[in-house]
Amino acid sequence: MTELILARGADGAIDTPALREAFGRFPSGVTAMCALGDGGEPIGIAASSFVAVSLDPPLVGVCVQHTSTTWPLLRDRPRIGLSVLGDSQDAACRQLASKTGDRFAGLAWHTTGGGALLLRGATAWLDCSVEETVPAGDHVLVLFRVHRHRVHADNAPLVFHASGFHVLSGLDRAS
């Protein structure tokens, strides 16, 4: 029988690196959450915690760390674009996750009339507004209402797994 590793150290504290490794065993897509600021400047962050929540009403969720300095700039925007990043956008994802520099330098993007910013090369675009925020530990769960969307079926998704970016080698279905 395989024994489970306790997620707590000898002092009773959470073994954060071990728990992060366990969480990292779940592959996920990567999204960019972006909008235009009041002065027309692009604002955005990357997130791998995207989840589809509901078809009726159309809702998706993203978790954002409380320590994010960008989320406060985004949360009150009337529209926020969620771009499901494509398999060629790993560098763009790192750039959007950077704490310094111009996060949008060299990135191709466009905006909707409501100010949602969408990255070219994504596999899907969602034009959203914040529906609700829910405190969740060291994060806030943001529920977004989807107003419009577009799929770019020719672009394969970027996958985040075990703290690294990967691409799908094929879309064959498992047995």
Domain limits of the chain? 16-161
pLDDT of residue 124: 96
* Mean pLDDT over each residue of the chain, to the nearest integer: 89
Mean pLDDT of 135-140: 94
pLDDT tens-digit series, residues 64-99: 999 999 999 999 999 999 999 999 998 999 999 998
Per-residue pLDDT at 166: 81
Which tens digits make up the pLDDT trace of 97-134? 998 889 999 999 999 999 999 999 999 999 999 999 99
Number of H helices, E strands in the chain: 3, 12
**16-161 CATH:** 2.30.110.10
For residue 5, the model assigns a pLDDT of: 62
Instruction: Give the sign of the dihedral formed by CA 113, CA 116, CA 122, CA 125.
Output: negative
pTM, entire model: 0.87
N- to C-terminal Cα distance for the chain?
A: 27
Per DSSP, 88 falls in state T
